Amino acid sequence: MSKREEQKQQRRTQILGTALDLFIRKGYTATKISDISQAVGMSVGLLFHYFSSKENLYEELIKIGMSGPESMMTQLNGLPPLTFFEQMCSQIFSAIVQEPFVAKMFVLMNQAFSSEATPEYIQKMIQKVNYYEASVPVMIAGQKERTIRDGDPLALSVAYWTAIQGAAEAVALYGMPCPQSEWIVDIIRRKS
């Protein structure tokens, strides 16, 4: 990568990070493209060289937010069920501690999923990826192995993922310490 391409990529990353901060603090609708350009320290016209619109910038952030957990689920597929959930939580929390951007992405994704202001096509993109339901077969397999507690597998999946979501939001929005992943996995772990 040439020096110029590297600088362009760094600037793009800076814009994404700044937009993420503004979107989670002010919301999608209340954040103006001029707010983002001002916070980055560039003109609106120059920002449009990187992203054609606020919606395009938002979409890029959503794609990034969807790619992390999707990639991890694919990577961890095939592990024993309890190990799958242990590794998933451990990797997410490790990323949250090392890179604040990750915790903020959890906030953005939750807002995008639940907000009526989210553009419809982005809502549809997000709804295609349902971690609660995608985790159910792994929960059932773990129940059959007797490593995951008895109970409704969808409800267990909801408990697991919302605990991760809540922890990520507490870290991103309130500067709270990240819990240990074992504490989250203990929600679904079968007790002897």
Tens-place pLDDT, residues 25-67: 999 999 999 999 999 999 999 999 999 999 999 999 999 999 9
State residue 79 phi and psi, 5-degree precision.
-70, 160
Mean per-residue pLDDT, 118-146: 93
Residue 139: is its pLDDT beyond 90? Answer: yes
Residue 179: is its pLDDT beyond 90? Answer: yes
**Nearest Cα to Cα of residue 170 among 178, 162, 159:** 178
- pLDDT tens digits, residue range 145-164? 999 999 999 999 999 999 99
Tell me which fold the domain 54-186 belongs to. Tetracycline Repressor; domain 2 (1.10.357)
Mean per-residue pLDDT, 118-123: 92
Domain ranges of the chain: 54-186
- Name the band, by pLDDT with cuts 50, 70 and 90, for residue 10: very high
Residue 180: is its pLDDT beyond 90? Answer: yes
Two tokens at 65?
Answer: 């937010």
